[in-house]
Structure 1
Amino acid sequence: MDVVTIGESMVVFTPTSPLMRYAHTYSRKFGGAETNVAIGLTRLGHDVGWISKVGDDEFGKSLLSFIRGEGVDVSQVKYDENASTGIYFKEIRHGGDVRVQYYRKNSAASHLSLKDINPDYIKRAKFLHLTGITPALSKSCYEAVLRAIHIAKEHGVKIIFDPNLRKKLWSEEEARRVLLELSGLADIVLPGVDEGKFMFGEEDPNKLCQLFLNQGATVVILKVGAKGAYYGTKDEVKLVHGFPVKTVIDPVGAGDGFAAGIISGLLDGMELEKVVERGNAVGAIATQVEGDFESLPDRDELFRFFHSTGDDINR
């Protein structure tokens, strides 16, 4: 197993009209930070497992079938007979104005607990991928995440943490405390500059990289939007420029695509600068089609993207 990830995936409804208040029909898709990353990785040829819960309902069964069909191992996903699969609505007014409304309180995934974390499953992985969303769902989810981290550390599994701040899920005080805690337990941290500002009260990229390294990470990769991303280690901090996108169709999921590209590059043993280039590329590609993960590339598509930019040595 290359990667194990833990978190909630939901049913996504998008109105066919740009304005939801006037919409009569909706398209139904699926989305969730962790499964977006998982799908991105399977498309790039990696072996990924997902730990979660879904409702014992038609949405849960459909969601699980779909993600299994994308090549993600779902053997550790359980049905919850007492809770529903989470839902969210995504209103795409235009590429610069996408509004999301979640209906996930007391969802099946929020019931994830210590007993759902299988040590034998996690210790087989090379990387454990986590986001700040899962511990925000409930106390039991937070405890499950800490248990997974403990297992990973015990067995030499590298931990990759994306803060993925969701202020609506918890108080700012609790969010800051937990995100700082988990950043300190991770080997590699993937924050955005806005998340860094929230956590440390600092927005200078060079200083933020050093602050995350001081927390305990060995590598920090700091997203700075269209400009690209900085990587920071004890030896250097460097900006890797992003790829221009003429028209952004749907930015939701771009950060997850970035994470998938980063993890893929690490699994392939690439140099850190090339790892970040791959993350930037997958993130850019992810913005060009409606949907949280629909446009995430396979290896051939990624090669064609690099070739179109004049950089055809990257895959």
Structure 2
Amino acid sequence: MTATSTPGLVTLGETMGLVTAGEIGSLEYARTFTYGIGGAESNVAIGVSRLGAPATWIGRLGADATGDMIERRLRYEGVAALVVRDRAFTGLMVKHRRFGSALSVDYHRAGSAGSRLSPEDLPQGCVETAGVLHVTGVTTALSASACDTVFCAVDRARAAGVPVSVDVNYRSKLWSPEAAGPTLRRLVALADVVFAGVEEAQLVLGAGAGSTAEALAQGLSALGPAQAVVKDGARGCTASVDGVAHRLPALPAEVVDPVGAGDAFVAGYLAELLAGRPAPERLRTAVAAGAYAVSVPGDCEGLPRRTELAALASASDVMR
């Protein structure tokens, strides 16, 4: 692997194949499926790339057809994919709707190539020349070596003066709150920018955390990050940026698939951060990107481009 030479987003983690049932109901009765890719960090990398900023993804993939597809998709999206091929299999997600809007996601990733991520997989100079390093709590839950890789990358970024972005991204199917809390709190304390949902912020801050989004944003910021953003779904977002409070409502959107909305939000914010734009503009783009993403099925398919965000703002049903 070689290091990227253009300052931009650098991220690392596991990307998996994504099987999605086409019908609503029990998975055993589904007869049509789509096959795509999904992963929190690669979703953000694709989202940042679509919004015009350089993006690099570092990870391990199996020497299999799914690994081949993931690498091709990332490169097609303009993401610099720094891939280590591993003898283990590429991980898999299975997504289906048991009823109505209740979405279920199962993981098949224990012992996967992505879970074997190692500090040695980080190319020399890659993290140190980034515009921002983005990591998530997902990768810290995969294995001891993956967790070590996240903290190694963060330490290298901080030593080089590179801003560190953390999305808490707690996954209950990967670890318990008791196991996750101390690690996630340690990670947040090393960040310059942190993103969390309401319950994720409460997990990081502990039982004494405030109940409002404003109190949670302030609590996260008090741990160390100058920029703390609480994602609050249909209620929008609340942020504390350099001690200044911000709150934006969500944009109206038809929710087709909520998975990936948080990653789209993060991508919108970080793309504007890389472009040097002020906090209100970062948050506006983040909210718009999240609204756009939920209107399209798939983890990363709905990540918007600049022109598409402009079309969303016009609220027109027909684009000619």
- Normalized against structure 1, the TM-score is what? 0.94
1:222 aligns with 2:230: yes
Give 1:15 shift: 1.4
- Aligned with 1:120: secondary structure? coil
1:10 aligns with 2:4: no
Equivalents in 2 of 1:217, 1:126: separation in Å? 17
Give the corresponding residue for 1:123: 128
1:46 aligns with 2:53: yes
Structure 2, unmatched stretches of 5+, are 1-6
- Residues 48 and 72 of structure 1 are in contact (CA less than 8 Å); yes or no, is this contact kept in structure 2? yes
CA offsets, 1:128-153, max 9 Å, x none? 01110001000001111111011101
Give 1:95 shift: 6.8
- Cα root mean square deviation, aligned: 1.4
Hey, which bits of structure 1, 4+ residues long, moved more than 3 A? 92-95
Equivalents in 2 of 1:291, 1:282: separation in Å? 14
Q: List aligned pairs for 1:1-315, cutoff 5 A.
A: 1-19=7-25, 20-74=27-81, 76-81=82-87, 83-93=88-98, 96-200=101-205, 201=207, 202=209, 203-245=211-253, 247-308=254-315
CA offsets, 1:208-266, max 9 Å, x none? 11211111111101111111111103532221111011x21000000000000000111
CA offsets, 1:251-289, max 9 Å, x none? 000000000000011122222112111100000100001
Which residue identity does 2:130 align to in structure 1? A
Equivalents in 2 of 1:243, 1:25: separation in Å? 32
Give 1:123 shift: 1.1
- Normalized against structure 2, the TM-score is what? 0.92
- Residues 195 and 266 of structure 2 are in contact (CA less than 8 Å); yes or no, is this contact kept in structure 1? yes
> 1:21/1:47 Cα in 2 relative to 1: closer, same or farther (>3 Å)?
same
- Residues 242 and 277 of structure 1 are in contact (CA less than 8 Å); yes or no, is this contact kept in structure 2? no
Structure 1, unmatched stretches of 5+, are 310-315
- Residues 16 and 27 of structure 1 are in contact (CA less than 8 Å); yes or no, is this contact kept in structure 2? yes
- Aligned with 1:251: secondary structure? coil
- Residues 94 and 249 of structure 1 are in contact (CA less than 8 Å); yes or no, is this contact kept in structure 2? no
